Structure 1
Amino acid sequence: MGVMSGLGVELGTYILVGSIFILLLTGMPLAWVTGLVALVFTFGWFGGNALPLVTSRIFGFITEYSLVAIPMFILMAALLDRSGIAKDLFNGMRVLAGRLPGGVAVQTLIVSILMAAMSGVIGGEIVLLGILALPQMLRLGYDRNLSIGVVCAGGSLGTMMPPSIVLIIYGLVASVSIADLFVAAITPAFLLLACYVAYVLIMCLRDPKLGPPMSKEEMAKESLTSAFKSLIAPLFIVLVVLGSIYGGVASVTEAAALGVSSVLVFSIIRREFSVKMLQSSLVHTLETCGMIIWIGIAAAVLVGVYNLMGGNRFVSAAILGIDAPPVVIIMVMMLILLVLGMFLDWIGIALLTLPIFVPIIIQLGYDPIWFGILFAVNMQVSYLTPPFGPAAFYLKSVAPREISLKHIYVSLLPFIALQLFVLMILLFFPGIATWMV
């Protein structure tokens, strides 16, 4: 045993968690922070003979077959961003927005969920909507806060809408069917979309100045024919990816490959494909996957050593020891995830907390599929909440200069409230998520 083993698991837990947060304040990437803490505790707690623990955890993580789907979905999203499919979809649907107050904002939300169903990747959606939708809404006289909120909240629907990478990671860590998670997520995703749309319509019908209806000149820019043409490629891609999974034709990994093939075929047909486009997409995929893999490796080692320290039993006993109904215990878990979501990346949160939380959920007699949907909604909240809400930084990178981070965060508050409202509904009415599974 190492020199740190005499500390006891309780004090060791406090030191471990405190070390992670202190090192994060230095600006070090999460992967390096987690990896460094993991190595210190591995050799400090178990001594020099603990090296096989590190190597076995790394090998177990990187050889997981389900991980293969992630680079495919990221590549599909990168190709979509660089092709004109999403841009044509947004422009073509202007005619469907009509003269309804708030119509362009509603259109943006509908385009958001279609884009989410095509790729399941979030950052690119927010950037793309920030380039396409935000300037148009501001030009039409839409309220700035409403426009910003719609772009960030709509762009974050990728955490919920299959093929969500959040759900893939959850299925991998919790050892549950990813296909079942995808089925369970559909109703909550559309419930969240309905709440966003209802909020926009109520606000704009009460005060049409918040979302002025489109003029006849704007309406004349697109015909019904071009609008329906713009839907062909996105709907076909969604059908190929989700249809093959739900129809039992392909696994999630195979469906991801089919999705990439579909986007490539459409980009060739539309004469948008080029070697430069493919190269740029592949580089983006490698960079993103590299981040995910390094965080995953570090978190896998940290969770492994913490469990051997007895940390999982300590946390489980502490949570189950709460003298309250099981639903209150779930709410405590949700609160922990919400707080962590303000400071950590969702990948790190998933890999650090789920190995401890999921066994507790099963022990309490709850469905881990249902908890996966709660986790996905919770991580969607984390995308918007300050101080490190990624959605705000994605939008800031393409927003007009006069829009500050403060403007963005203030604009997101009503949509964060809507996400928490949906989280509570799913918490108290689990059947909304599990009725199709």
Structure 2
Amino acid sequence: MDTITIGILLAALMLGLLALGFWVSLSLMLVALVGIILYGSDVYGLIFASSAWSSASKWSLTALPLFIWMGEILFRTRLSEDLFKGLTPWLSKLPGSLLHVNILSCGLFAAVSGSSAATAATIGRMTLPELKRRGYSERMSIATLAGSGTLGLLIPPSIILIVYGVAAEVSIARLFIAAAIPGLMLLGLFMLYTIAWSMINKDARKIKSDDQFTWRDRFVALRYLLPILGLITFVLGSIYGGYATTTEAAAVGVFGSLILAALSGSLNRKAFLDSLMGAVKTSCMIALILIAAHFLTVAMAFLGIPRTLVSMIDGLGLSPIMLLVYLTILFIILGCFLDGISVVLLTTSIILPMVSAAGIDLLWFGIYIVLVVEMAQITPPVGFNLFVLQALTGKNILYVARAALPFFLIIGLGIVLITVFPEIVTALPAEMSRN
């Protein structure tokens, strides 16, 4: 069989296994095993062992379980409640008022969680009942949570950026720096849309008369925000300032989150063990996918599939923009069925040779792929985060999908902006490198 035929067979096998509900990691391993056998090698055991060790022994990966543990610890504290208390007085006068609490709470929690689903679930559990009680539009409450919940994938320390950095061999610290401005840009776009919506639909939300805050109330409320803002600033500032590596900053983050949890009075033996086991389970799941994806990369290299695909793409004469258009469609489709980390690990080994051949900066591409995966998380009607919101609200999935649609389009606008103005992504890392 020629390379193209083998590639089609392996792709069909992968889709079939995923459709049957196989674990992503096991599907990747099985496809890689079939590929090695088709290549004609009978030493697949040795190939798997060497590739597993190669992918799992990278020092940069040690930051992954630490950041996950940091998020798990803070997930079990009164962090989300404190975020609501701290942000409400400052946002009460903006058009949309407490809807912005959804957006900024998700942005802040994303900076310590690194997980899209955890961000949406944690903030949603606290804000949605409160917004409903105060008479806000339920549809818009769900929409703001759907859109801003995806920020857990982008705002550092992002788990998916660590995974991409390892897979693409791009500096994780530079990826974190590159994600800062796009993350703030999306926050701003979400808030601008909410302001515009609220000004047009003034009767769609009712603010209770007790939402009156003095400047004293606002400054008193800062005590709820300062601990988490201090932790975020210290962890990310140490990376941006070059004072610590990503792994060192992650260790400091875990230590700081334990202190915050202890000071909040919510750190007990059960919470500590639950956070530890949660981090172990998530880290093992990601590590297994990472090992399987590397095994598949090796198998495809033996078969020459990446080289053949690059030649085919080159023969089509696609411009970098058209290549990105096709990849965007691919990622959105995959995101309907898989979580973001699985999408990245499933595709990087295949697409990175094409991206490099097209002259696209791999640092910029890392931010682009995260933004597209963010879109996929709320892709109507079967995005991953939509199911989280359906579980929170009890609403029909199509209702949640319709509510999330404007924010899906806003993230699409963000992708257009970083494509037209790539400096949004590359300027800050370039400036840091010069300094």
Shorter-chain TM-score bucket reads over 0.9
The amino acid across from 2:325 in the alignment is M
Aligned residue for 2:432? none
Choose 40-49 or 251-260, whichever is displaced more: 40-49
Match of 2:317 among 310, 317, 323: 323
Choose 39-48 or 214-223, whichever is displaced more: 214-223
| 1:215 correspondence with 2:201 | no
CA-CA distance at 1:259 after TM superposition: 0.7
Q: Aligned residues: percent identity? A: 30
Unaligned runs of 5+ in 2: 430-435
Q: Deviations over 1:144-202 (max 9, x none)?
A: 22111111211110111111111111111111111111111111111111111111110
**Is the partner of 2:135 in helix, strand or coil?**
coil
**Is the partner of 1:318 in helix, strand or coil?**
helix
**Is the partner of 1:240 in helix, strand or coil?**
helix
| 1:347 correspondence with 2:341 | yes
Aligned residue for 1:197? 191
Unaligned runs of 5+ in 1: 1-6
2:71–2:113 contact (8 Å) kept in structure 1: yes
The amino acid across from 1:407 in the alignment is Y
Structure 1: distance between partners of 2:245 and 2:229: 20
Structure 2 matches for 1:411-426, cutoff 5 A?
Answer: 411-426=403-418
Match of 1:224 among 211, 215, 218: 218
2:380–2:398 contact (8 Å) kept in structure 1: no
Q: Deviations over 1:254-288 (max 9, x none)?
A: 11111111111122122221010001111111121
2:105–2:123 contact (8 Å) kept in structure 1: no
The amino acid across from 1:28 in the alignment is F
Aligned residue for 1:120? 114
CA-CA distance at 1:388 after TM superposition: 4.1
CA-CA distance at 1:104 after TM superposition: 0.7
Aligned residue for 1:376? 370
| 1:359 correspondence with 2:353 | yes
1:342–1:385 contact (8 Å) kept in structure 2: yes
1:97–1:104 contact (8 Å) kept in structure 2: yes
Aligned residue for 1:175? 169
1:343–1:387 contact (8 Å) kept in structure 2: no
| Change beyond 3 A, Cα 1:70–1:345 | same
| 1:233 correspondence with 2:227 | yes
1:101–1:211 contact (8 Å) kept in structure 2: no
Structure 2 matches for 1:61-210, cutoff 5 A?
Answer: 61-210=55-204
1:72–1:257 contact (8 Å) kept in structure 2: yes
Aligned residue for 1:280? 274
CA-CA distance at 1:93 after TM superposition: 1.5
Choose 27-36 or 56-65, whichever is displaced more: 27-36
CA-CA distance at 1:21 after TM superposition: 1.0
Structure 1: distance between partners of 2:205 and 2:313: 46
Q: Deviations over 1:25-75 (max 9, x none)?
A: 112221222222222222243332232211111111111112111111111
Structure 1: distance between partners of 2:154 and 2:110: 8
1:322–1:329 contact (8 Å) kept in structure 2: no
CA-CA distance at 1:386 after TM superposition: 4.1
Aligned residue for 1:289? 283
Aligned residue for 1:409? 401
**Is the partner of 2:255 in helix, strand or coil?**
helix
Structure 1: distance between partners of 2:28 and 2:354: 23
